[in-house]
Amino acid sequence: MANLKDIRDRIKSIKSIQKVTKAMKMVAAAKMRRAQENMEQARPYSTRLAEIIQHLLSEVDRDLLPLLNVREVKRTAYVVVTSDKGLAGSFNSSVLRKAQNEIDELGKENVDVFCIGKKSRDHFKARGYNIIDSHAYFWSDLNFNYAIKIGNGIVSHFLNGHVDEIHVVYNEFVNVATQMVLTEKLLPLDYGSDEAAVADRLYEPSKDEVVKSLVPRHLNVQIWKYLLESFSSEQAARMVAMENATRNSEDMINDLTLEFNKARQAAITTEMLEIVSGAEALK
């Protein structure tokens, strides 16, 4: 059994860590509320824009824009969205595991990787994957202009013919306790046909002009959506992880306190027996 000083030091150390986890939980909760508001504002716009483009794609010539060209898939790119920091449960590991499994199925020599977040960059760099570009340490100043910057680099890689498809792996925010890892195809745009919906709509100045205007905007909005969803999911996952850590530390403190009391009682009993034995020996 550990001595009293060791147990007392462990209790003190755990209480110090508990203060940190409580503070991190409150910070994550505040960030999550702000991120969730931004995400919920962006979702309807992103969804509606995708619906309009879906209605139009079957009615326009795909040669109208290089972004619409469907080519034989010889090389693929993956955009993997993670965080810069850990202490968020399985938030990063789930994304990285899914992305790596899908890339390995295609063969990592046939895949280019865009890493968003330090965890993604470190993971794929250490394993020798072909990283084209990476972005880190921007989450605290996340804004739409930076999303456009990220999107331009990804889209230009497709337009220059380096890859024939681009997929994005990210965490979708479902609720505070649930984040779903998804893989979506970003390019080329392909929503299938929706001719029934097109028949009821009129577009001005023309369908071709609307597509030319909306498709680049849509891609920027999609990148913005991925970043907002991932950031909200990260803060929710960290808040839950810190809450669990705080609860576990409380259990550890209770167990150590019980052990401390037992050890103290055993020490007191031993001292009393020594005193009684000494007194008997003097008689």
CATH number for the domain including 43? 3.40.1380.10
- Nearest residue to 148 (alpha-carbon basis) of 90, 72, 201, 224: 224
One domain for residues 270 and 224: no
One domain for residues 183 and 52: yes
Q: What is the pLDDT along the chain (283 residues), one digit of tens a residue?
A: 568 888 888 899 999 999 999 999 999 999 888 888 888 888 888 888 888 888 787 777 777 777 888 888 889 999 999 999 888 888 999 999 999 999 999 998 999 999 999 999 999 999 999 999 999 999 988 889 999 999 999 999 998 989 999 999 999 998 888 899 999 999 888 765 544 444 566 777 777 788 888 888 889 999 999 999 999 999 999 999 999 999 999 999 999 999 888 888 888 888 888 787 777 777 6
Give the CATH number, domain containing residue 274: 1.10.287.80
One domain for residues 120 and 259: no
One domain for residues 236 and 259: no
Domain count, the chain: 2
Domain that holds residue 265: 4-20+242-282
What is the model's pLDDT at position 196? 44
One domain for residues 126 and 159: yes
Dihedral angle computed from the Cα positions of residues 90, 93, 97 and 100, in that order, rounded to the nearest 10 degrees: 160
What is the model's pLDDT at position 198? 46
One domain for residues 12 and 72: no
Contacts 24+ apart (CB under 8 A), 84-88: 84/117, 84/118, 84/119, 84/136, 84/137, 84/139, 85/118, 85/119, 86/119, 87/24, 87/238, 87/241, 87/242, 88/234, 88/237, 88/238, 88/241
* CB contact at 8 A, 181 and 169: yes
One domain for residues 49 and 110: yes
Tell whether 95 is covered by a domain. yes
Tell whether 39 is covered by a domain. yes
3-state SS of 68-137? HCCCCCCCEEEEEECCCCCCCCCHHHHHHHHHHHHHHHHCHHHEEEEEECHHHHHHHHHCCCCEEEEECC
| Contact partners, residue 60, CB within 8 Å, separation at least 6 | 68, 207, 208, 211
Tell whether 237 is covered by a domain. yes
Tell whether 277 is covered by a domain. yes
One domain for residues 149 and 261: no
One domain for residues 183 and 250: no
In angstroms, the CA 226 to CA 172 distance is 8
In angstroms, the CA 170 to CA 180 distance is 8
| Contact partners, residue 226, CB within 8 Å, separation at least 6 | 79, 81, 116, 168, 170
What is the model's pLDDT at position 192? 57
Tell whether 27 is covered by a domain. no
Tell whether 122 is covered by a domain. yes
Tell whether 25 is covered by a domain. no
Tell whether 151 is covered by a domain. yes
Backbone angles phi, psi at 88, to 5 degrees: -130, 35
One domain for residues 247 and 237: no
How do beta strands 76-81 and 111-116 pair?
A: parallel
Q: Can you spell out the DSSP letters for 188-228?
A: S------HHHHHT---SS-HHHHHHHHHHHHHHHHHHHHHH
Tokens 């046909």: give the residue: 193
One domain for residues 93 and 185: yes
One domain for residues 59 and 94: yes
